Amino acid sequence: DTEVTQTPKHLVMGMTNKKSLKCEQHMGHRAMYWYKQKAKKPPELMFVYSYEKLSINESVPSRFSPECPNSSLLNLHLHALQPEDSALYLCASSRRGSYNEQFFGPGTRLTVL
Amino acid sequence: DQQVKQNSPSLSVQEGRISILNCDYTNSMFDYFLWYKKYPAEGPTFLISISSIKDKNEDGRFTVFLNKSAKHLSLHIVPSQPGDSAVYFCASLSGGSGNTGKLIFGQGTTLQVKP
């Protein structure tokens, strides 16, 4: 299994809603990542988990809350988002270590109304 | 400050010809580079990578060249096919905390391969 899966594919939410994005991989990777991509821009790193522990937080607002319940799963909990948070949210995974390729999921297209 | 730059927003080539996508970086500490291909509404797909101890890496139709002194790398696709039409991102991998890397992407180059 060489796939990173993400659910849901699309999500529309109001500014007062609470929702979660889910990511799963079964490649035995011990590093997992959340990226945000706005239209016509490159992906930007949000969070990195290494061995289920948060190792990098790129100064992301607290309305985004990551969680790594086990080595295969990564969640991103969303609360009180703003319309400017609308974007494609990408999950990735890699073998632990700097010099390893990151494999991306298909992303969740989030729209905040 | 953009540490990875792709100065050509778009490139158009004829099917069967060579596509050359360019990338420059500013941080001399970067020592591992990757190319990703992205179709609309999909996640990036890893294509090929190169370590700074090499100046060339080849995988099928894809070859990446690295010129460390110029802080420049390029991706060659030969022969180009219409299915190669996509956005191509150059990225560097910087060692992060706990030895887990942070990908820094360029702005991307949209490649169109005409039949």
Q: What is the mean pLDDT of each run of 10 residues along chain B (115 residues)?
A: 90 98 91 92 92 94 96 97 97 65 91 97
Question: How high is the pLDDT of residue B95?
Answer: 59
> For residues B43 and B58, is the Cβ–Cβ distance under 8 A?
no
Cis peptide before A8 (omega within 30 of 0): yes
Q: How far is CA A60 from the centre of its chain?
A: 12
> For residues B57 and B49, is the Cβ–Cβ distance under 8 A?
yes
Question: How high is the pLDDT of residue B98?
Answer: 47
> What's the Rg (C-alpha) of chain A?
13
Largest CA distance in chain B: 47
Are the Cβ atoms of A105 and B43 closer than 8 angstroms?
Answer: yes
From chain B, the residues in CB contact with A10 under 8 A are none
Structure tokens at B107: 């702005």
- Give CA angle at B26 (B23, B29), nearest 5°: 110
Question: How high is the pLDDT of residue A1?
Answer: 59
Tens digit of each residue's pLDDT (9 = 90 or more) over A53-95: 998 898 999 999 999 999 999 999 999 999 999 999 999 999 8
* Residue at token pair 């060339």: B56
Largest CA distance in chain A: 40
Interface test with B, best of A101, A109, A110 (most B CBs within 10 A): A101
Are the Cβ atoms of B46 and A101 closer than 8 angstroms?
Answer: yes
pLDDT class for A106, splitting at 50, 70, 90?
very high
From chain A, the residues in CB contact with B89 under 8 A are 42-43
